[in-house]
Structure formats: structure tokens, C-alpha cells
A and B are shown apart, each in its own frame.
With several copies, the nearest count.
Chain A
Amino acid sequence: MSNFYNEILTDHNMHPVHKHELAVCTCSREGVNPSCGDDITLNLRIEDGIIADGSFTGSGCAVSQASADIMLDLVIGKSIDEAERLHALFMKMIRGEADDSELEELDEAAALADISHMPARVKCAVLGWRTLGESLPER
């Protein structure tokens, strides 16, 4: 826990790649954490079952912002199925149940693994992913 705010996290927080409006989007959804005041809007452009593009806007702590940015890095270009799978994987990691190969798949998102020791912050790390889960079409 003694260096949770590593470079990956602070970088994505200070210089988010995906924090902007999205001109063309097929779905836009707000996610909030009342207790933290975190508030993001996730925009996705889904085409032929593929997340063709995505962005987010909003405000909140570094954890929520960086996590959303890292998430978009991971899922843009992926199929909905694959995004669902990564979503499930991320949740598994948060519960402290992911193994090393699974952490590898999560790439930079694995930087958030230690959040499982900070229950009050889990909501922040999960906010983007939860909103993604709610945005993906049901099947």
C-alpha cells in the first residue's frame, strides 16, 4: 500500500487520453458515487458489436479518473464480449481474486490491484467499469 499513487495512475490522472467529448456516439451514460462526489459520463460508439471509440468527461478523485482512462485504453477496439470479459476480470481483481496471468491481461488496470485494501476507494476504481457494464447492450 505504501506507493499506491504510482506513475501509471498519476499519469492517467494528469494526462488522460480519453477525457473529452465524443462527437459521434451511440451511447452516453452517467455514473456517480454519491459518497465521494465522483461523477463521470462515459461515451461509447459501438459499431457491429465493436467498441469503435470511447471517451469520458466529469470530475472526481485520481482513482476514478485514471481508472476510467485506463479502462478506455483497454476496451476501445475490443468486441462487446471481450469488454464484458475484461469487466469481469477487473471486478475479480478488485475482490483480490485474480491470478498473475489475469493481472497481466488487465495491463495498466492492474496498477489498481491494491485498492482491495481500501474498501472506501473501491467504488472510485470501479466507477468507470460499472458505468461501462451498464452501457453495454444486454444480451
Chain B
Amino acid sequence: MPYFDKRDFPVFDAMPELVYLDSTATSQKPKPVIDAVSRYYREENANPLRGLYGLAVKATDAYENARAAVHDFIGAASEREIVFTRNATESLNLIASSYGRENIRQNDEILVTISEHHSNFLPWQVLAKEKGARLKFLKCGKDGEYTPEMLEKALTPRTKIFAAAQISNVIGRLNPIKEFAEICHKNGTVIVCDGAQSVPHIPVNVRELGVDFLAFSGHKMFAPMGIGVLYGREELLEQMPPFLYGGEMIEYVTLCGATFAELPHKFEAGTVNAGGAVGLHAAIDYIGEFGFAKLEKREKELTRLLIEGMKETPHVRIIGSEDPADHCGIVSFTIDDVHPHDIAAIFDESGIAVRAGHHCAQPLHKYLGVQSSVRASAALYNDRRDTELFLECLKTIRRRMGYSE
């Protein structure tokens, strides 16, 4: 039976003193996930999908059962809507490259929020350039918020795509994606939701949200690296051309042309990552057993502790809202006069892992007028002691850099 805390995560056996507050970059992996992947390779490994022998049937089942689990997890209408990719970045590139190239014309508009991760920003920038379309930006309010009204104002009849994270990896605030989707659809705009930071933290149901596409990464939700998901509405995926070519994504190939396999295989070129999918399946089961209710409660509590402590620390400035309720486990901040890289290095000297830099969101940092920031993020394996050690260290930083207070 899992414990649903640090004890499930072998990295904390290897480094008992580690205070890991960088789960937004990547999560640690619980034993059930590590073991599921090993077991797959020890007992079920073969090249899935076309095998005509028992072991290949097992491998295919393992892979397709993982797809079914993802489908349940995000409430998709059909397993045909679940495409396995390498990570959220690939999922987003796939949408821009396949759906985008096919549907964006000159003078169309693509709207993205100013706080998007580069992975949900650059593919649109490149697409817009290629097509002579216009890339427009939705800017957040001073608490990092985006409202339905803001979106309504920014949409025009030419807006073909709106791309937004459900939770920004810097601001950490939950955006009203359901309302956004309604507004977009009234406007004939397709909505691409980056779920890289939401799917690991809150229950996400694509049909309730009404999004057209959702992208996320396994490695941020306790699964191994190298496996990600693209959800797309069947109707849209159906009309899209393939993304990469080769392997089981074909139907017939001749010297002068080819027809392609059915969904979702059309988008899965080359040998699939069954081991990664099995790991993702185990991660979904792990989250499922824990339950989002408890998970959210724990993360909210940790966030509250972090933010309250930060607010008591002079010279610390939180990015976005100062209300803990507006953060889903993610808090980015700066300290007056101290460079974020130095801050992270000092935390590291105390065994505390936090991230510093632009967090792949340079446009947001520019918009906020800061070069870079530090980010602390919590997951279910963090505890009160982690927040205490973090805050203790936080208070010493300016002093350790030579400032009197």
C-alpha cells in the first residue's frame, strides 16, 4: 500500500535531506511508477500494435490500456482522441504543425496569452510567420489574472486559434478555461489548452471544459520522461494530416502516395513508447488512489504556508496574486537586489531545490519588467517541514548576500 507522501518516492531515500520544491519543472517518481516500468520490460516487452504472438499482444494491451486510462482520466469522448507524444511541447507543436498549417491563412489571427510557456508560444509564432498571420497577445491583469471579459475584447472575427495554459507555470493561477472555451466557440475560434501544469494538480475533464485540444506531459505528474499526451476532439483530429511519417501510422504505401491509419495511430509515427505509457498509466492510478480532493487540499495548504511566510519576509515580491487561494502549488517571486540565480544557489547550499530563470516564459518576464524570477512549487510529497526549511533559508538570503536586512 502506498503512503502517498515522501515515503513512496525513492529519491528521498537516496537524499533524505532533500527539500524538493521544483515539481513544476518535473515531478519525482513514486515506487509504483518506477516498478511498473521495470515490470513492463521484465515481463511484457515487445513492439506493440502489429505483433502476432502472445508477448506482442501483452505489449499492445499494456500500451492501449494506458491510453484507456488517460481517456478516463481526462474524460475524453473516445480513446481515438488520445494521442501519445513525447511531452507537452511535442503535443503543442503537433497541433500548430498539423492543424495550424492546414487551417491558418494569411491575415488570420492567433491569440496567445502573454504568460504562455515558450512551448505554447513559439509554435504559434513560427506558424504565424509562415502563413502571414498575425500573432496577438492577451495580457494579464496585475494579479496575473485573465478574465472572460478580457478574452471577449481581444477576439476578432479573424481569430482562428486561442492558445492558453490552464495554469501558467510562473503565475500559478487557474484560468477560467471553460468560460474561455464557450467564448471561443461562439466566435468560431479553436481553443488550445496547455494542461502541463493543470493536469497534475486539479481534475481536468476535457468535455466539461469544452476545449478543442489539450496538451500535457507525463513527467510532471509522476510518470517517466518521454511520454506526453495530446487530446484533440475526434472531429478535428480526423481532418488533420499526419505529423510525422513512418511505422504503424500508415494504411497503404505505394511509390507515389500513401493512405494513413485510423486515429489515434495516424499521429503516432515509429515505434511507440510503451514503457513510458505504462509508467503514465501507473502514475494515473497513483493519483487516482490518492484522490484529487486530498491532493488539492494538501497542495493548497503548502501553498498557503509558503505564501504567508513569503509575505512576512521583507523584500520578497510575489509574482501574480498575493492570495494563496490564487495559486495552485506554484509561487514565483523575486528578492530585491538579489539575482534569482544567486537565490537559487543559496537555497541549494541549504539542500533546497528551487528553480530560477525565465521559466521558459520570457515574454511574461519582459511584460512584468523583471529579468527573471525564482519559483518554488509543491507536490503531494512535500510537507510542512519543507516549507519551514524553505522559509528559514529565504529569510537569510539578503543577509548572506551582504545586505544588512
Contact = CB atoms under 8 A, between A and B. Distances in A.
Asked whether the complex places CB atoms of A and B closer than 8 A, the reply is yes
A120 B50 contact: yes
Interface in A56-99: 59-63
> Range of interface residues on chain A?
20 to 34
B345 A5 contact: yes
Contacts of A61: 339-342
A117 B400 contact: no
A23 interface: no
A14 B337 CA distance: 9
B377 interface: no
B402 A59 contact: no
A94 to B, nearest CB: 15
A62 B342 contact: yes
B402 A13 contact: yes
B75 interface: no
A102 B358 CA distance: 36
> Range of interface residues on chain B?
20 to 34
A34 B357 CA distance: 11
B52 A37 contact: no
B3 interface: no
Contact of B345 (A4, A10, A11, A35): A4
A60 to B, nearest CB: 7
Interface in A82-139: 117-121, 124
Interface in B55-87: 56-57, 60-61
Contacts of A24: none
A2 B51 CA distance: 17
Given A119-B57, A120-B51, A60 B349 contact: no
Contacts of B339: 60-62
A27 interface: no
22 contacts: A5-B342, A5-B349, A5-B400, A5-B401, A10-B402, A11-B402, A34-B251, A34-B259, A35-B251, A37-B358, A37-B372, A59-B371, A61-B340, A61-B341, A61-B342, A62-B342, A118-B345, A118-B348, A119-B60, A120-B51, A121-B52, A124-B341
Interface of A: 1-5, 7, 10-11, 13-14, 34-37, 59-63, 117-121, 124
